[in-house]
Homo-oligomer: A and B are copies of this chain.
Amino acid sequence: MEQQLQELKQRLAEVFDLQMVGALLSWDQSTYMPSGGAEARGRQMATIGRLTHQKATAEEIGALLEDLQPYAESLEADADDAALIRVARRTYEQQVRIPEALVGEMLEHSAASYDAWTRARPANDFAAVRPLLERTLDLSRQIANCFPGYQHIADPLIDMSDYGMRAESVRAIFAQLRSELVPLVQAITAQTPANDVCLHRHYPAEQQRAFGEQIIRAFGYDFSRGRQDLTHHPFMTKFSLGDVRITTRYNEHDLSDGLFSTLHESGHAMYEQGINRSFEGTPLANGTSAGVHESQSRLWENLVGRSLGMWEFYYPQLQAAFPTQLADTSLDTFYRAINKVQRSLIRTDSDEVTYNLHVMIRFDLELAMLEGSLEVKDLPEAWNTRYREDLGITPPNDSNGVLQDVHWFGGPIGGVFQGYTLGNILSAQFFAAACAAHPTIEAEISQGQFGTLHSWLQQQIYVHGSKFTTDELVRRATGGPLDIGPYMTYLRKKYGAMYQIG
């Protein structure tokens, strides 16, 4: 058994390395690659994707997993080897169903589509990406159809990111959340909006970078095992557990854009940096689901990063870094500015109360496209209609409408957006559990101390990687299943203190 386990690990490490190489190709494409490299890069990503798929679906892996099944069953369920074999088997059984050619085509197409999007968005040119998006939809359905027997065509795509979830279960959670969020948004936006002019003065990019990096270093992001670079659309990526990078962008007339992106991506990155190093090179060396991953980014971005406590400590430092911009702005004004609730157009810039409404629009639209009830040609109008209905605001153009979000232009349609809202829900649930275990956490945050929180997350979430499913992890860390309760409690308490909420 030992020998077969070693052989399995060796084969999985090769697959892992190829995935990491694919991530590097993609990181470089989004950060430093000159435009002349785009065409070949698409081909290279497809080549690596094909090879990864070949190696990941090699019959030998299937045979080893078969041979190792009795061994896995002889172990405690939460033994590392048992988890490794279980997760490797689940992944293998999923991947063998998707033909190699389809994997390669999706990768090559995604690269071309992303490249076109980076030009189409500033040019407000949906027509330029429409045929590409139609092809993306077609390829996404082909992938879903590799898993016949689904209840909803999006189910296989959702399952890949948020194992255990389906369109129906997500819709049920979203419906419940929506029924509580909509009145809250109405109650807040009926009142005088916060004045956020202080965020829109001139903030030089270099000083923004220095300040943001100082904070995430204090959070616990390890720069000796990571770095931050510039990109169009911020993301976290990793090339090994010792090299987990983040990217951001700076808008010199919007302090919150770069700052909260940095805090957000650092949350993703600390999760990956904290994974048990003995999992390196195996499928356990990843966050367990899109939802849990997002919970970690949102926890640091919002529960910590937009808290009054944290800014009681950091605001004087921020004022010192930007004296001409902030000298006349009080902490209270700043705190209200970074938590301004408004009916807006851009998901990633939106406040934590309306954010989920943006997500639900995208989730519903992608389900409709996958079902075939919405055609790509009608998407811009459907997008604008939903924004008018749900957020009471009409995008002035496609750049700020259907083109504003990267996801449909950089990968499949379906399986991504639900993770954002699941993450918001979980972020509050995990934070509440951490504070229940360590009642000093909030006081420590007001002193610029994040060690107790980071340690709790390290032990309860980070270290486990993909060893536990989302449901297992949530139950172990919080004592119960996913629950919107703590999230709504958090929002009501925080915004209740800022606004008159009846």
Complex-state Cα separation, A17 to B50, whole angstroms: 12
Asked if A444 CB lies within 8 Å of chain B CBs, one says no
Residue of B with least CB distance to A229: B32
Count of identical protomers in the assembly: 2
Residues of chain B lying within 8 A (CB to CB) of residue A32: 227, 229
A20→B34 contact, CB < 8 A? no
Q: A31 CB to closest chain B CB, in angstroms?
A: 9
Complex-state Cα separation, A48 to B47, whole angstroms: 12
**A185-229 vs B: 1/0 string, CB under 8 Å?**
000000000000000000000000000000000000011111101
B43→A242 contact, CB < 8 A? no
Complex-state Cα separation, A71 to B278, whole angstroms: 54
Residues of chain B lying within 8 A (CB to CB) of residue A242: 34, 36-40
Q: A227 CB to closest chain B CB, in angstroms?
A: 5
Residues of chain B lying within 8 A (CB to CB) of residue A39: 240, 242
User: In the complex, how many residues of chain A place their beta carbon closer than 8 angstroms to a beta carbon of chain B?
Assistant: 39
Interface of A is mostly: helix
Complex-state Cα separation, A227 to B51, whole angstroms: 28
B36→A226 contact, CB < 8 A? yes
Asked if A319 CB lies within 8 Å of chain B CBs, one says no
Asked if A280 CB lies within 8 Å of chain B CBs, one says yes
Contacting B at CB under 8 A, from A242-268, are 242-243, 245
Asked if A72 CB lies within 8 Å of chain B CBs, one says no
Q: Which of A17, A48, A241 lies at the interface centre, i.e. has the most chain B CB atoms within 10 A of its CB?
A: A17
Q: A40 CB to closest chain B CB, in angstroms?
A: 3
B25→A28 contact, CB < 8 A? no
Residue of B with least CB distance to A22: B21
- Between A and B, 18 residue pairs with Cβ closer than 8 Å are A17-B48, A21-B44, A21-B47, A21-B48, A32-B227, A34-B223, A34-B225, A34-B227, A34-B243, A36-B222, A36-B243, A39-B240, A40-B239, A40-B241, A40-B242, A40-B280, A43-B281, A44-B240
Q: A217 CB to closest chain B CB, in angstroms?
A: 13
Q: A141 CB to closest chain B CB, in angstroms?
A: 28
Residue of B with least CB distance to A15: B47
B24→A28 contact, CB < 8 A? yes
Q: A24-B28, A25-B24, A28-B24 are in contact. Are A17 and B34 (CB under 8 A)?
A: no
